[in-house]
Every structure is written in C-alpha cells, then in structure tokens.
Amino acid sequence: MKKLISIATMLAGLGLSSQALASGAADCHFHGLAQANQETVSQCAVKRQKGLIAAGKIDKSWDGAKPTAIEQVDGKRAKEWKVTFNDPAAADKAKENLYMFFTLQGNFIAANFSGK
C-alpha cells in the first residue's frame, strides 16, 4: 500500500511539475528547443517594449510603435530573432530605430539602438 501511495504521489508530482515548467506565449518565456514563429516573437517584442517604457529605459514616444521588420540573424552564439521598431519622430536620429533580440525559441536577449 505504501508503494502504491508513493507511486501515485510521484506521478502526480511529475504531472504538476511539467505544467509549472511549461511557459509560453502568454508570458514570453519559453523552454525547450521549439522555434517560435514570427507572430509570437512580434507579440513578445511589443510586450517587452511596453516594459522598457514603464521602466524608463526608453522614451514614451515608443508606445504604440509596431515592429517594422522581423528577421533571423547570426548572433554571437547562434541564430537569433532581430525585431526592428521605427520612431520617425525621434529627436535623436541615432535613436530612430530600436532593435530587440530574441533567441529562436522566443526568449528576450537584449535591446539597443545600434542593431548589433
């Protein structure tokens, strides 16, 4: 009887732990090796953009800007998604384009104005 209870507890724990580890498009945190599609990366980039605005990392003028380009590029370690936003009204023309980088799975890596 103790073995049966132990096995049932272990199986229940395994079932719950896989749900706890499973993340996805809702929170833009992904596990595993499955490659994210462009739509998912675009949605995650917009969420990250809003977070950067809220944190004061980028100007509020970026609010509402949509991705203008999404492409795969060669990163330092592997292929990455590069998402480009454009703000033609930017006072500093060197900061007219905002670039965000994501792993192929969709996890955020970095954001900058240089594109590198």
Q: Residue 109: exposed, middle, or buried by beta-carbon count in 10 A (0-12, 13-18, 19+)? A: middle
pLDDT of 98: 94
**Rg of the chain over all Cα atoms, to the nearest angstrom:** 19
Query: Helix (H, G, I), strand (E, B), or coil: what is residue 44?
Result: helix
According to DSSP, residue 25 is labeled: T
Q: What is the pTM of this model?
A: 0.74
Residue 62 has pLDDT above 60, yes or no: yes
Percent of the chain residues topping a pLDDT of 90: 47
Residue 21 has pLDDT above 50, yes or no: no
pLDDT (mean) for 12-18: 46
Q: How confident is the model at residue 17 (pLDDT cuts 50, 70, 90)?
A: very low
Residue 28 has pLDDT above 50, yes or no: yes
Percent of the chain residues topping a pLDDT of 70: 78
H helices of the chain, where?
A: 2-21, 38-54
